Amino acid sequence: MRTAADFSTRAARAAYIGRRLAELYPETPIPLEHRDPYTLLVAVVLSAQCTDKRVNEVAPRLFALADSPEGMTRLPLARIQETIRPCGLSPQKARAILGLSRILVERHHGSVPQSFEELEALPGVGHKTASVVMAQAFGEPAFPVDTHIHRLAQRWRLTSGRNVEQTERDLKQLFPRNQWNIMHLRIIYYGREHCTARGCDGTVCEICRTLFSARRPVSTRK
């Protein structure tokens, strides 16, 4: 029987988490439906502050109008904005999608660049979005960290970082480079199913209970 001492270090906790998530999620399909690097890039832009489920409902409507940078540049901004409205933040996202499409046509021959620097230079594309595209479209090692992964990494005491940048650095040190892409997805799947913000306070799900058997629930005042 494991004891708290067995998980006293970050490395020990990471090793257990890696093994258990591999057992739970041997297959990790990419959550955002897409056809190619461009449609993935647009889908990730749409996913900001929006669920993957909603993006997968809305993105096909947009791609029915245009599924390439060249086609997207021919759409009026208002048409893009109206189509993606259910994803939220539609004015900003529409401008980003139209802007990045124009840049891809003008500077990259209509193709999505395969470098962090060039991706992050595109409108609406930050480091996390670039990391997702590099990992899921091009198979390059990356460890995209969103707020949910950041929260789980803190909850599992894999990081003491106060921001996603530090958490990304810590996770990259804890897990082998050739596992970064799949670990990112496994943590996402586990978090959604078992260690949600409301469903687990660090004492409820299997991983939390195993790693921190002595941890007590956070008390609440009524």
Show the 3-state SS of the chain: CCCHHHHCCHHHHHHHHHHHHHHHCCCCCCCCCCCCHHHHHHHHHHCCCCCHHHHHHHHHHHHHHCCCHHHHHCCCHHHHHHHHHHHCCHHHHHHHHHHHHHHHHHHCCCCCCCCHHHHHCCCCCCHHHHHHHHHHCCCCCCCCCCHHHHHHHHHCCCCCCCCHHHHHHHHHHHCCHHHHHHHHHHHHHHHHHCCCCCCCCCCCCHHHHHHCCCCCCCCCCC
Sign of the CA dihedral with 218 first, then 157, 161, and 179 last = negative
Q: Verify whether residue 172 is a known catalytic residue.
A: no
Q: Verify whether residue 128 is a known catalytic residue.
A: yes
Active-site annotation holder among 146, 170, 201, 222: 146
Spell out the residues 6+ positions from residue 106 whose beta carbon is closer than 8 angstroms to its own.
none
Neighbour-count burial for 32-57, b at 16+ CB within 10 Å, e otherwise: bbbeebbbbbbbbbbbbebebeebbe
Catalytic amino acids? 128, 146
